[in-house]
Amino acid sequence: MSRRPLKSDPSDVRANNIRAAFSLVSREGKMTRAELGRRMGLSRMAVSDVVSQMVGNRLLRKVGLDRRTGRGKRSVMLAVDTDGWLVASVDLTQRYVLRAVLTDLLGHIVERVEIPYECSGSLRFETVDALCAKVLGQADRPVLGLGVAVPGVVNPEGTVIRSVALGWSDVALRAHLEQAHHLPVLVCNDVNMGLLGECTFGEGSADSLFVRIGQGVGAAVCVSGKIVDGSGYSAGEIGHVVVDPQGPECVCGKHGCLETMVSVPRLRERLAAQTQTRETVLRQAGTMLGAALAMSIGLLDLADISVAGPADIVGTAFLDGMRDELKAKTFVDYHCQPAVHRCEQGDDLVLRGQAVAVVCRLVDSVRDRDGNDDNHRGNAAADTLEGTLGESERPHDSTDAVQPTKLMTKMEVAGSR
Ligand SMILES: [Zn+2]
């Protein structure tokens, strides 16, 4: 997405400042107004204005006095208000259960609900609605927005272009849910939300690759703090790229797709056949994945690769095979080798990443809302967000860019999906 010139509308200035301030405080944990002003390049009066609005809207709260210095008048410390708002996050990726959570503004889970789901045919709207209603019914505070992570290709309007797993094509999910539940909705690709979760809560960096080994194989890429969407919103869909033309036939009709070589069902079949040792099968699978990713790593100079998958598959043998192959294929003395690690964030990763995406996308819309009302103003705000990191990180009355923060980096990224 190209960076657009900053507009002079005072409400845009305010929105940018709110997002930048929220981003900084959420990363630092606690900050004084003066520190915030320095980091954002805002005058005392301007920062005071932003902070008082955010405290009034329950985005930030005062948490005592700054005790880090010895003498003089102590300043008030600010932190994210984790009691003012909730975020609803829904995960449609599991095969037998649909899960949803409520989180605070920092992505900490405060409530969970789930409903059983037998995947046969296509997932019905009624089922998704029931899950959303159930999780929203648990909220004892205003809900900032609802995020839904979908296994499939999603466009920026929240339409699911294609989801094989859910049996959906061109499903306007966001429009349906906003109408049904009367609050702002964000629909995102599930692997992108895994990447966002890993970057926010785990080990992902601003230049990283997230790979998920499951029923299929999916990836998501973050370059310079921005998740890459691709021209048709399907960046990272590597499962049906051929890695061995002599390999087994795939459901897509080709032979030797990555998915036929390293997906969990295929690897479990090979392990069950016991024609090779467990270590050999898993090491070969890691090698295959490393070989498939080598060109992307060399092309983009990525710093780390996080692999999510079942512990019995994505273990030492798999990761060693991947590391050795990447080194063999990409090593040159001026190129740092990417760190390859297993994602340790557990089953809630996508749900928490999706919650972060909602916060990033909608935090500045709170100023338009009545705190006790779940009205529609936030939808419009979500629609007008440009989602570029540079805009949101740069306060309006300064030419000094604020350092990108980890949380906001991911979130801005996610907003475009
Ligand atoms: Zn295929």
Tokens encoding 376? 């529609």
Residue 254 CA to ligand 1 centre (angstroms): 5
Residue 216 CA to ligand 1 centre (angstroms): 10
Given this model, what pLDDT does residue 370 score?
A: 52
pLDDT of 409 higher than 70: no
Given this model, what pLDDT does residue 410 score?
A: 39
Which segment of 7-11, 265-269, 396-400 scores lowest on mean pLDDT? 396-400
Given this model, what pLDDT does residue 385 score?
A: 28
Residue 17 CA to ligand 1 centre (angstroms): 46
Residue 295 CA to ligand 1 centre (angstroms): 20
pLDDT of 255 higher than 50: yes
Residue 252 CA to ligand 1 centre (angstroms): 4
Given this model, what pLDDT does residue 120 score?
A: 75
Q: How confident is the model at residue 411 (pLDDT cuts 50, 70, 90)?
A: very low
Which segment of 39-48, 89-98, 352-361, 390-399 scores lowest on mean pLDDT? 390-399
Residue 238 CA to ligand 1 centre (angstroms): 9
Residue 217 CA to ligand 1 centre (angstroms): 10
What residue ranges define each of the domains in the chain, with the CATH number in brackets? 10-79+374-415 (1.10.10.10), 86-195 (3.30.420.40), 204-344 (3.30.420.40)
pTM of the model: 0.85
Residue 264 CA to ligand 1 centre (angstroms): 15
Nearest-10 crossing angle of helices 190-201, 406-415: 170
Compute the average pLDDT of residues 215-225: 94
pLDDT of 264 higher than 60: yes
Residue 93 CA to ligand 1 centre (angstroms): 20
Residue 36 CA to ligand 1 centre (angstroms): 50
Residue 248 CA to ligand 1 centre (angstroms): 10
pLDDT of 274 higher than 60: yes
Residue 268 CA to ligand 1 centre (angstroms): 18
- Reported as type and span, the H/E element at residue 3 is none
Q: How confident is the model at residue 368 (pLDDT cuts 50, 70, 90)?
A: low
Contacts of 280 (CB under 8 A, 6+ apart): none
> Which of 347, 269, 270, 357 shows the shortest CA–CA distance to 96?
347
pLDDT, one tens digit per residue, over 297-345 is: 989 999 999 999 999 999 999 999 999 999 998 887 777 789 999 999 9
Dist. CA 257–CA 194, nearest whole Å: 23
Q: How confident is the model at residue 198 (pLDDT cuts 50, 70, 90)?
A: very high
pLDDT, greater one: 95 or 182: 182
Helices (H), 137-213: 173-181, 190-201
Dist. CA 50–CA 398, nearest whole Å: 15
Q: How confident is the model at residue 388 (pLDDT cuts 50, 70, 90)?
A: very low
